Amino acid sequence: MTNPDYIIIRAEEDGVHVIGLTRGTDTKFHHSEKLDTGEVMIAQFTEHTSAMKIRGKAKIYSTHGVVESDFKK
Ligand code: TRP
């Protein structure tokens, strides 16, 4: 049911947030992790986590390639 592939998030600025959203009928934030520049988080989608939101400037490495998030004021 869930995808065992890992997603790697590398913060490109201080204060990047990786936010996990719940699986199921309710889609809610259940966890927020703060990363500073150069910090890396390695995460999976699980039975509890169906989506992730990345807030801030980061590089996200996955089987889909590399995508960059950014935050413009
Ligand atoms: N307890 C969460 C879970 O098992 C931990 C987790 C997994 C998580 N992947 C995540 C938290 C991605 C935030 C973002 O689903």
* Residue 26: predicted pLDDT: 96
Query: Considering its fold, how many domains does the chain have in total?
Result: 1
* Residue 2: predicted pLDDT: 66
**Measured from the CB, is residue 48 less than 6 Å from ligand 1?**
yes
* pLDDT tens per residue, range 7-31: 999 999 999 999 999 999 999 999 9
CA dist., res. 40 & res. 73, Å (int):
24
Per the structure, the complete domain to which residue 44 belongs is given by: 6-69
**In this structure, what CATH number is given to the domain that contains residue 51?**
2.60.40.50
Atom of ligand 1 nearest to the CA of 44: 9
20 domain-assigned? yes
60 domain-assigned? yes
Q: How far is the CA of 67 from the centre of ligand 1 (A)?
A: 20
Which one, of 42, 48, 51, lies nearest residue 7 by Cα?
A: 42
| Residue to substitute in 3, 48, 52, 62 for testing ligand 1 pocket (most ligand atoms within 8 angstroms of CB) | 48
1 domain-assigned? no
pLDDT category at 4 given cuts 50, 70, 90 is: confident
* Residue 1: predicted pLDDT: 62
12 domain-assigned? yes
